[in-house]
Every structure is written in structure tokens, then in C-alpha cells.
Structure 1
Amino acid sequence: MDDIFEALAHPIRRALLDALREKDGQRLADLERGHGITRFGVMKHLRILEAAHLVVTRKVGREKLHYLNPVPIQQAADRWISRYAAPFARTLNDLSRVVEGDRSMADKAPKHVWELFVRATPAAIWAILTDDAKTPLWQHFNMTSQTDWRPGGAITFFAGDRPMIVGAIVALEPPHRLVHSFSAQWSPDVASDLPSRVTWELVAIGDSATKIVLTHDDFAGETATSKAVGGGWPEALSRLKTLVETGEPFIIPAPSAA
């Protein structure tokens, strides 16, 4: 974790993360403004943040967009202040935001992108990711799932007997890519949104490691769902990493039903 703390040590790098917290998916030209350093200087700081996996980038047309990745920060919190994990996860809810400004670009851009590295093969991660019996060991709020594991098959996540997320399998390419639609049902405001899309990509790194890239996009604008999901995914990814690497679940108690 030394690279994370080194990246956070510089005030300009913290300011760049703050800028992405306020408005995710920014171009280099956007991030240059207001820091009093050259374009090259901003690029240098962004490379350090990318090396620490605090920032991830995506190409959209000719533009390179920068996204805040809060997962490493949550991993640090889980290590030393795990009793504050639930409030921390709630704080992360605002870290990933919808791209603003040019709406034509925003319609094409991913809204939430997270990356993390896991000391396991894609096949080992895939085996857990596609095993409904293991879903509550890593999913947000310890949700369970029922899935028809075929393209077009239904996928549903439950809190108790109540469906919280419903969708369908769009693509199933073991052990590297899983895509499913995502229609939130936990409250009336999100239930009225059009379905969005979740894409899991498992990229092998050598013989025994994997880069997980999770993209949640295809929102119909700045929806209630797009604003709500930023807190749950970092927790789920951290718990998935712990489960795959150690074989032991990292349990965060689900909130009591009202």
C-alpha cells in the first residue's frame, strides 16, 4: 500500500482526486485548470495516481477520460479501521459521478469504472463470481442471487425474499467477461429508471494474478440509480478480493430491516 500513501502525499495529487470526485470522467485539459503547473506536470501526477490505481482511464472517441477509483482507499480502510467500514462505504457513494458538460460525450462515456488486482487466476475469480451459493459472501448487503447462467438468462439479487436488482445475462465468456443488465428495485426512485449495464472483465496478469475491471454504465442520463451504486461496488470488490485470495469471507453486517 506504500504507493497509495505516496500518491496521496502530494497536495496537487489530492486536488486532482478532489476534482474527479466532484466531476468524474474528465479530460487532461479539464484537469489542467486551476493547479498552477504545466500540462506536463499534471500528466506526471496523473501517472503516479494511475500507478497506485487511484485513477483509471478510458478512451471515448478521441478523448482520454480519467475516473476516480476508490477501491484502494477502501482496502486501506478495511485493513486498519474495519469497524468504520459501513460509514466509509456510505461516504464512497458520492465518489463516482456522472460525466457532465458535453452531453453527446456523456451519453457514450462509462459512468462508473473500477479496477483492482487480485492474486488469483481469472478462472478462480470466475468460479466465485458465477456461483450463486457464494454471492452473499462478497456482495453488498450480503445479498443472495439466483441466476440462469446462459445468454438471455435472468439474474436476480435478493435481500431476504425481496428482489433488489433484476436483470438478464447479456454476454457470458468464461472466464474473462460477464455482462448483465441491472434494474434496481430497492426503492421507488430507482425502480422507475431504465435498466443500466454491468460489465466484468477479468484480465490475466502472468500465471497467477488478474486485473478486474468493473464498468457500470449505459445509464439513461444522471439517474437515481447512477448516483446510488457508487457506494456498493467498492465494498463488493474489496470483499470479493478477500474471499478469492484467502478463502475466508470478509463479513460486513447487513443493515437491519426497517
Structure 2
Amino acid sequence: MDAIFDALGNPHRRKLLDALRQRDGQTLSELEATLPVTRFGVMKHLKVLEDAHLVVTRKIGREKFHYLNPVPIQQVSDRWISRYAAPLVRSMSDVQRQLEGSLPAMSATAPIHVYELYIKAPPQAVWEVLTDDARTPLWQKSNMACRTDWRAGGAITFLVGDQPVIVGELVEVDPPSKLVHTFSARWSEEVAADQPSRVTWEVQPVGENVCKLVLTHDDFGGETATSRQVSGGWPEALSRLKTLIETGEPLLVPPASAAA
């Protein structure tokens, strides 16, 4: 975690992360306007953030887009914020967002949410957990079940009790490296009005018994209620998934409502 703290220790790098939080998927030219330094200086700061996995990049055509990856920060939170303090911290963060007012603008032309993490396990181990409906409650919300027909064209449904909260269709199933499915949120009337989006899981071996997991959630059709709301859930779910795969034990994170 030293790389994360070193990256966050510089105010210029924090400003770049703030800029990506306000509008994800920016090019180097756009981010240059954020800092009073040279283009080379911005590139150096972005390289530090990439090395700490706080920023991930994607090439789309001739452009290279930069995305905020909050998963490492979530892992710091999981390690250092106690299960008693976590609900209070979340509540304070929610209040801050409400006071700040406006929601961050989203890019309609590039992937909206890109998350990247390294897992100490071979790709097959990651794939087996990811595609095992019986283990879904261990890395998603504990009250969330999954029912899936594991084939291209098959249905995938996440449920709380008997109520579907996410429904979709498997677009691509390529074990153990790639899984693509559509994502239609149903947990509120607001998100149910949105068009289906797309979730892509990519598992890449990077060494002996180590792999990189990249999750891209895109194709929202612009800024929508779904695109805003999923950004809070994915980092925690991915942190839970990493812990489960590496230790065999679920990561227990209390809900915000548990605060006394």
C-alpha cells in the first residue's frame, strides 16, 4: 500500500484524481488544464497514479482516456477503518456529497467506469468464484443471490429475496478470461427507466499465481441514474471478491444503516 500513500501524498496528484472524479475518461490534453505544470509534469504525475493503480487508461481510436480507479482506496478503507467506524464514515461522505450539490459529469463517448485490481490467484480460480452463483452472496451484498444460465444468450439475474434487482443477458462467455453481460437495474423506479448497460470482466495472467482483473461498466447511453449509482457499489464488491478469492473467507462490511 506504500505506492498508494505515496501517490496520494502529492497535492498535484490529488487534484488530478479530483478532476477524474468530477468527469471520468479524460485525455492528457484535458488534464493538462488541471495543473499549473508542463505537459511532461502532468505525464509524470499520471504515471505515478497509474503505477499505484489509482488511474487506469484505455485507448479509443487515437485518443488515450484516463479513468479513476477507486478500488485501491476501498482496500485501504477495508484495512484501516474498523467495522464500527465504517458506517459513520460512509454517512459523513454521503452528507459531504449532498452539500457539494452537483453530481459529476460523465463522458458519453468513452467507458464510464473502469476498475482494475491484482489478485494473488490464477485466472481459473477467479473465474470459478465469479461464475459460481452459490458464492455470489459472499462477494456481493450478503442478501443478494444470483441465478444464471451460463452460456452465451443465457439470462443472469441478481435477486434480493424474490425481487430481481439486476437482470441481464450473457453476451460472451470465454473461460477463464472474459465475461460480458448486459445490466438492467431494477432496484428503483429511477434506474428501471434507464436503457441496459454493459459489464465486461477481463481476467489476465500477469505472473505465476497472479492475475489482473479489469471490470468495465459502460454503454449507459450517457449520464443516467444507473451510471451514477453503480459507482458506489463496484469498488466494495471488487474488494470483497479479491478477499474471498485470496483467503477463502468473505469480507464482512456492515451496512451504513448499522451506525448507532
Same fold (TM over 0.5): yes
2:214 maps to: 213
CA apart distance, 1:35: 1.6
Equivalences for 1:8-23 in 2 at 5 Å?
A: 8-23=8-23
| Deviation for aligned residue 1:34 | 3.9
Q: Answer yes or no: is the 8 Å Cα contact 2:114–2:217 preserved in 1.
A: yes
| Counterpart position of 2:153 | 152
Partner of 2:7: 7
Shift of 1:138: 0.1
CA distance in 1, matches of 2:88, 2:16: 24
- Specify every segment of 5 or more residues in structure 1 that has no aligned partner in the other structure, as ranges: 101-105
The CA distance in 2 between the partners of 1:150 and 1:237, in whole Å, is 23
TM (norm. structure 1) is 0.91
Q: Cα 1:140–1:174, aligned 2, differ >3 Å: closer, same or farther? A: same
Alpha-carbon distance in structure 2 between the residues aligned to 1:121 and 1:202: 9
Write out aligned runs for 1:46-57 (5 A): 46-57=46-57
Deviation, 1:18, is 0.7
Q: Is 1:136 equivalent to 2:137 in the alignment?
A: yes
CA contact (8 A) 2:204 2:211 kept: yes
Give secondary structure in 2 for the equivalent of 1:231. helix
| 2-structure distance, mates of 1:28, 1:157 | 38
Q: Cα distance, 1:207 vs. partner?
A: 2.1
Match of 2:229 in 1: 228
Distance 1:146 1:56, change over 3 A: same
Could you tell me which residue of structure 2 aligns to residue 103 of structure 1?
Answer: none
Name the counterpart of 1:195: 196
**Cα distance change of structure 1 residues 13 and 179 upon mapping to structure 2, 3 Å threshold:** same
Instruction: Give yes or no for the alignment of 1:99 onto 2:100.
Output: no
Contact 1:74–1:89 under 8 Å retained in 2: no
Amino acid at match of 2:214: V
CA distance in structure 2 between the aligned counterparts of 1:161 and 1:207, rounded to whole angstroms: 41
> Aligned AA for 2:42?
V
What is the distance in 2 between the residues matched to 1:64 and 1:82? 38
Q: For 1:19 and 1:142, how far apart are their aligned partners in 2?
A: 35
Which residue in the other structure is 1:81 paired with?
81
**Superimposed CA distance per residue, residues 15-68 of structure 1 (whole angstroms, 9 cap, x where no aligned partner):** 111111111111111111142110000000000000000000011111111100
**Matching residue's letter, 1:20:** L
* Structure 1 residues 214 and 188, CA gap change in structure 2 (3 angstroms): same
TM-superposition CA deviations, 1:158-214 (whole Å, max 9, x none): 112211000011000000100000000000010011100000000001120010000
Relative to 1, partners in 2 of residues 1:191 and 1:54: Cα closer, same or farther, differing over 3 Å?
same
Tell me, in whole angstroms, the C-alpha distance in 1 between the residues paired with 2:236 and 2:89. 9
Q: Percent identity, aligned pairs only?
A: 63
The RMSD of aligned alpha carbons is 1.9
Residues of 1 paired with 2:224 and 2:75: CA distance?
Answer: 28
Q: Equivalences for 1:100-115 in 2 at 5 Å?
A: 100=107, 106-107=108-109, 109-115=110-116
TM-score normalised over the length of structure 2: 0.90
Q: CA deviation at 1:124?
A: 0.2
Residue ranges of structure 2 left out of the alignment (5+ in a row):
98-102
C-alpha contact (below 8 Å) 2:204/2:213 kept by paired residues: yes
Q: Distance in 2 between matches of 1:117 and 1:191?
A: 33
Alignment deviations for residues 209-236 of structure 1 (CA, whole Å, 9 cap, x no partner): 0100000001121111011100110010
Residue 100 of structure 2: aligned partner: none
